[in-house]
Amino acid sequence: RGEITLGNFAEKLGVNASELIKKLFLKGQMLTINSVIDMTLAEELADDYDAMVEQEEVEEMAFGEKFNLESEDKESDLIERAPIITIMGHVDHGKTSLLDAIREANVADGEAGGITQKIGAYQIVKDGKKISFVDTPGHEAFTEMRARGAQVTDIAILVVAADDGVMPQTVEAIAHAKSADVPIIIAVNKIDKEGADPSRVKNELMEHGLVPVEWGGDVEFIEISAKFGQNLEGILDTILITAEMLELKGNPKKRAKGVVMESRLDPKVGPIADVLVQEGTLKIGDIIVAGESYGKVRALLNDKGEKTEAASLSQPAEVIGFNTVPEAGDVMYVVQNEQHARRIVEEVEKDRKLNDQNKKKHISLEVLSQHM
Ligand code: GDP
Ligand code: MG
C-alpha cells in the first residue's frame, strides 16, 4: 500500500512504461519498470500528460472486514443478477446522451417525460432481462469506490465520437477498465454526423489493444447515434450477450450490502441516499451503516420514484432513514442492531480523523482525469 511501481503507474496513465523510463533517463534518473515511485515524481510525470495524481484515502478498506460484515455465500443461495454498466469516454463524446437515450427508450409510456429527478442509477428490462446503469463519472466508479471496497461495474461502455476519435480521456478510461478487469464494449457514437469515421476509431483503438471482433479480436464495436436513438438495441443486445458470458451471480438471502451513489438532504424527509444494492436484499426496517451515517430504513423508493418494500441484487433504491447524509462512494451495510451500527460509525469517525493526520504516510496513487 501507498506505493506504486513505474510500470503500474504508466498503465494507469495509459502510456508505455518505456516512454517514462526514457524521459526519466534523459533527466538523469535511472529507473526500471519495477522501481517504486513517490508522490512527487508521480505528479511530475502526470503533469506532462495533463493528468492529475490523487492521494487515495485508504481508511475504509477494512470497514467491511474489520466488523465482519462480509460473508461467504453458499453456492445454492446464488442466483443470476443483472449486470451493472458504467459509461465512460472523453468529454462531449456522448456519455450523458447515451445514458438518457437508453432510459427514455425504456420507460413505460405513462412515465415518459415524467422522470426528471436525478438518480444515481437506473434499471431497465430488455427481452425480459434486467440491466442496471450507473450514472457516475467513470473514474469515480472505478477508483474511489473500488478504494472503499466496492466495485460498481461489471461491464464498461466506452463511448467514442466517430467525428473526433480517441482522445486523452478515452485512453484513461481504457486504463481504468483494464485495471478493474471488466470487459469493454465500444459505442462508436455520432455516426449521424458529417465527418464521422468509424473505421478510424477502430484503427486508433487497435493501438490501445482493443481489437474488433470482425478483425479477429474480442471487442464489440457498435455504431450508434445517441442523439437520434439509433441502434440502442445493438448496445443493449451486446450488453446482454457479454453479461451472459460473465455469469454474474449474487445471494439475495443475506443482509444487504450496497454503495451510496448519490446523497442529499431533503428539507422534508431528511437525508436521502441513492444506493445501488449489490448483495442481499435491503428491506424496510433494516439497520444500516454507511461511512459516518447510520439509521433504520424508513422508506425505499425505486428508480421511478415509487415506494417499494425491498431492493435486491443490482437494484438501485432511494433510501430514507439515515441520521446524517452519507457520502457518495460510501459502502452501505445492513447490520444486526443499532448498537452495532453506532459502534461502527464511531470507529469510522476515529479512522477518518487518524487518516487525515497520517495522509502523507498512507498514500497510494490513482491517476484521475482533470475533467470528466
Ligand atoms: P458527455 O460529455 O460525454 O456526457 O457528452 P454529452 O452527452 O453531453 O454530449 C455532448 C454533445 O454531443 C451534446 O451537444 C450532444 O447533443 C451531442 N451528441 C451526443 N450524441 C450525439 C450523436 O449521436 N450525434 C450528434 N450529432 N450529436 C451528439
Ligand atoms: Mg456528461
Per-residue model confidence as pLDDT tens digits over 337-365: 999 999 999 988 888 887 776 654 434 44
Residue 122 CA to ligand 2 centre (angstroms): 16
The model's confidence at residue 85, banded by pLDDT at 50, 70 and 90, is very high
Residues in the chain: 372
In ligand 1, the atom with minimum distance to the C-alpha of 91 is 2
The answer, yes or no, to whether any atom of ligand 1 lies below 6 A from the CB of 192, is yes
Residue 94 CA to ligand 1 centre (angstroms): 4
**Three-state SS sequence of 137-180:** CHHHHHHHHHHCCCCCCCEEEEEEECCCCCCHHHHHHHHHHHHH
Residue 227 CA to ligand 1 centre (angstroms): 6
Residue 138 CA to ligand 2 centre (angstroms): 11
Give the pairing type, strands 307-308 and 293-301.
antiparallel
Give mean pLDDT, residues 162-191: 94
pLDDT, residue 372, reads 35
Nearest CA to ligand 1 atom 17: 94
Buried residues in 200-218 as b, exposed as e (16+ CB within 10 A): bbbebbeeeebebeeeeee
Question: Which cell numbers hold the place of 254?
Answer: 443475506
Which residue has better confidence, 107 or 226? 226
The model's confidence at residue 78, banded by pLDDT at 50, 70 and 90, is very high
pLDDT, residue 63, reads 67
Amino acid found at 353: K
For 262-288, what is each residue's pLDDT tens digit?
999 999 999 999 999 999 999 999 999
Q: Is 138 annotated as a binding residue?
A: yes
The answer, yes or no, to whether any atom of ligand 1 lies below 6 A from the CB of 94, is yes
Give mean pLDDT, residues 159-174: 95
Q: CA distances (Å), 308 to each of 76, 153, 175, 247, 357, in order?
A: 27, 24, 38, 27, 42
In ligand 1, the atom with minimum distance to the C-alpha of 100 is 7
Sign of CA dihedral 251, 257, 262, 267: positive
CA atoms within 13 A on the CB side of 275: 38
Q: Please name the residue ranges forming H helices in the chain.
A: 6-13, 17-26, 39-47, 63-66, 95-105, 138-139, 145-147, 168-180, 198-206, 232-246, 338-358
> What is the C-alpha to C-alpha distance for residues 270 and 371, in angstroms, rounded to an integer?
31
Amino acid found at 226: A
Task: Return the DSSP state at 56.
Answer: P
Nearest CA to ligand 1 atom 6: 94
Residue 161 CA to ligand 1 centre (angstroms): 8
Q: Please name the residue ranges forming H helices in 55-133.
A: 63-66, 95-105
In ligand 1, the atom with minimum distance to the C-alpha of 224 is 23
Which residue among 90, 95, 227, 228 has the greatest number of ligand 1 atoms within 8 angstroms of its CB, and so is best to mutate?
227
Return mean pLDDT, the chain.
Answer: 87
In ligand 1, the atom with minimum distance to the C-alpha of 226 is 23
Question: Which cell numbers hold the place of 311?
Answer: 431492493
pLDDT, residue 360, reads 46
The residue whose grid cell reads 478483425 is: 215
Which ligand sits nearest to residue 91's alpha carbon?
A: 1
Which ligand sits nearest to residue 157's alpha carbon?
A: 1
Residue 122 CA to ligand 1 centre (angstroms): 20
The answer, yes or no, to whether any atom of ligand 1 lies below 6 A from the CB of 97, is yes
Q: Are 83 and 246 in contact (CB under 8 A)?
A: yes
In ligand 1, the atom with minimum distance to the C-alpha of 97 is 7
Residue 95 CA to ligand 2 centre (angstroms): 5
Nearest CA to ligand 1 atom 21: 227
Q: Are 323 and 293 in contact (CB under 8 A)?
A: yes
Which residue has better confidence, 54 or 278? 278
N- to C-terminal Cα separation, the chain:
26
